[in-house]
Structure 1
């Protein structure tokens, strides 16, 4: 099962003890994947359709525990390429449907005027999710229906996919109440609310109380941070080795050029000794070279002498070029 699948399975097993939290979660599910049909004699039927068994099971359980009503479940095969199973949960009794819609504030006032997708009131402004616990429940329901998280081993990305902008803005507003700065972007015919920072996704899982998934994500983040730290150190050490080797090769080339051009006789005692020891120990570090000198010299002293030898070699090359042009 995918990481998203694990989260949804964990969330589907959580049934809030408080009735108001169950209603908040039901409101999220209905607003994102529910629909109401109205018969000729104005009788309501409520349907929730999903391809996720966890969503169907959770919604079924929430309705039974919250309203103690008769709920029907049917399963059919989708007609698309995926040929996935589609789960449909029905509330066919008019009175039960009205009770649910009134509870989730999808009926105008006390009447039977159902508010559809385009003119439904902003759920975030209603009494449904004024309490923090209800906001958590609302986000759980929204994630079950419309949420997904990428494989954290690859990259960090959590999103809610909504069919309308106002629903996306609702979810964004609830996330913001927990100091989660989600963004909304259009994607084809949908609107996507997303978080991309690892810390923000961890906080979002904590808000939804997906604690097992949170621990799994944190373990993955720790391993990734350790690998990144090790890689940085290895890359740094490799770069230093290349730099040291390239510098040593250049030093030896300069010293050999001095030796083959004019010899070491005109060099000072310290530079001549440095040149001989560097040729004899091409792989030695600056510290090791300094310990081989008599008297011993520190790294800065060795570096100064080698730099001086390079300057002499450069002058000899320049003089040779000038004589060549003359």
Structure 2
């Protein structure tokens, strides 16, 4: 089961003992899952979900909390990547009454485009439940190992602002953003995502997400270090090969005119092309420091370069 499915399954199992909290969740699920429709002067309440368990939760809540019957039906839609199945919860009879009961229709019969003030300004249990309902309706979370995000697609700008304000009351910073024509509210901080999952009621999924994310980061770090080491080895090998070529050229150019200590250092480099300067110093007889090895090879190459330039001037 994908992580997103696991999160929604865990959240769908929650039945709050506080009616106000359950009502906040139901209201958010309706608002973010669909909302109200006017058909032939009749208000219909509908919401769509990608989770059957979430749809069943809302169907039961509408019956038990508000006394209305809701029809639950699967809807299949073909796409280029395959058929997508979603689940619709629809209230036809009593839709206007349900809209008033949930607060999505105010006393003046105006549609509330965000979440009702009674929820946004309600107690913390209502705030948590509203976020849970919004996530069940239209939430998404990143797979471990990828860039971290928890995101909810919002039907209106007002709905997005309601979520941002509610998250603030939970001590979490959520940011609204617009992607093409859709409004979204996003968390990107990994610690904030873990905390929000726990507050919504998915501690098991939070532990799994955090654990897999940590494993992914560890693997990513190991891969980066391996790549770094590999790049360092390639650079070192290239530098050693170039140094050997320069030493050979110096030997050919200078012949017997090379001081013995410089010749010995150059010969060590030719005999041990893959060794580090520190290793060459230990191989010298007597042993010398890596700085001494580097200095002698450098003076050898400088002597070669100086001699070559002098001979070039004489040739002119």
TM-score by length of 1: 0.83
Could you say which residue in structure 2 is the equivalent of 1:55?
54
Could you say which residue in structure 1 is the equivalent of 2:196?
204
| 1:293-312 alignment runs, 5 A limit | 293-312=284-303
Q: Deviations over 1:149-178 (max 9, x none)?
A: 233344333221122111111112212333
In the alignment, is the contact (CA less than 8 A) between 1:148 and 1:160 conserved in 2? yes
In 2: Cα distance, 1:136 partner to 1:321 partner: 83
Could you say which residue in structure 2 is the equivalent of 1:288?
279
Deviation at 1:70, TM superposition (A): 4.2
| 1:79-228 alignment runs, 5 A limit | 82=83, 84-90=85-91, 92-93=93-94, 98=97, 100-109=98-107, 113-118=108-113, 123=116, 125-126=117-118, 129-228=121-220
Counterpart check, 1:9 vs 2:9: yes
Q: Deviations over 1:53-101 (max 9, x none)?
A: 233211122234434x24232426457755745423327347xx63x54
Q: How many residues align?
A: 311
Could you say which residue in structure 2 is the equivalent of 1:18?
18
Q: Deviations over 1:197-250 (max 9, x none)?
A: 333322322221212221221122111111122122212322332232223222
In the alignment, is the contact (CA less than 8 A) between 1:290 and 1:302 conserved in 2? yes
Q: 1:256 aligns with which of 248, 253, 272?
A: 248
User: What value does the CA root-mean-square deviation take over the aligned residues?
Assistant: 2.8
Q: Deviations over 1:230-289 (max 9, x none)?
A: 12221232233223222322222222112111224442x321221222222223222221
In the alignment, is the contact (CA less than 8 A) between 1:12 and 1:58 conserved in 2? yes
Deviation at 1:11, TM superposition (A): 1.0
Could you say which residue in structure 1 is the equivalent of 2:304?
313
Q: Can you give the 5+ residue segments of structure 1 that lack an aligned partner in the other structure?
A: none
Q: Deviations over 1:169-197 (max 9, x none)?
A: 11122123334332222334321222233
In 2: Cα distance, 1:196 partner to 1:320 partner: 67
Query: What is the DSSP-based 3-state SS (H/G/I as helix, E as strand, rest coil) of the residue aligned with 1:175?
Result: helix
Q: Deviations over 1:292-313 (max 9, x none)?
A: 2222112222222222222223
